[in-house]
Amino acid sequence: AEVTSHSHMNEQIMHVMEGEFQFTLEGDTKVYHPGDIVIIPPNKLHSGKALTNCKLMDIFCPTREEYR
C-alpha cells in the first residue's frame, strides 16, 4: 500500500503497530517499525509506503470529517 504525497490542516499522530513503513515528512524519509510514533504537524507535506504488511493507527486533531 502507498499513500501519495499530501497535506491537511489536521495534526496527525501515526503509530506503527505492525510491519515496516517508509514515511516521508517534508522531504525527510525514514523507515518506522512497531512501537514507533510519528507526529505530523498541520499543513506539512507527507507520504508513505508499506514495505511489509503493516498495521498503522492514525489519530487526527481535529477529527477529519471524511473519516467520521
pLDDT of residue 68: 84
Amino acid identity, position 35: G
Cα–Cα distance between 14 and 38 in angstroms, integer? 5
pLDDT for position 60: 97
One digit per residue, the tens of pLDDT, for the chain of length 68 reads 999 999 999 999 999 999 999 999 999 999 999 999 999 999 999 999 999 999 999 999 999 988 88
* Order of strands, sheet of 55-61, starting from the edge strand that comes earlier in the sequence: 37-40, 11-18, 55-61
- Helix, strand, coil fractions of the chain, as percent rounded to 5: 5, 55, 40
At residue 67, the pLDDT reads: 84
Residue-range domains of the chain with CATH: 2-67 (2.60.120.10)
* Amino acid identity for residue 26 in this structure: E
Q: The whole model's pTM is what?
A: 0.92
What nine digits make up the cell of 47? Answer: 507520504
pLDDT for position 56: 98
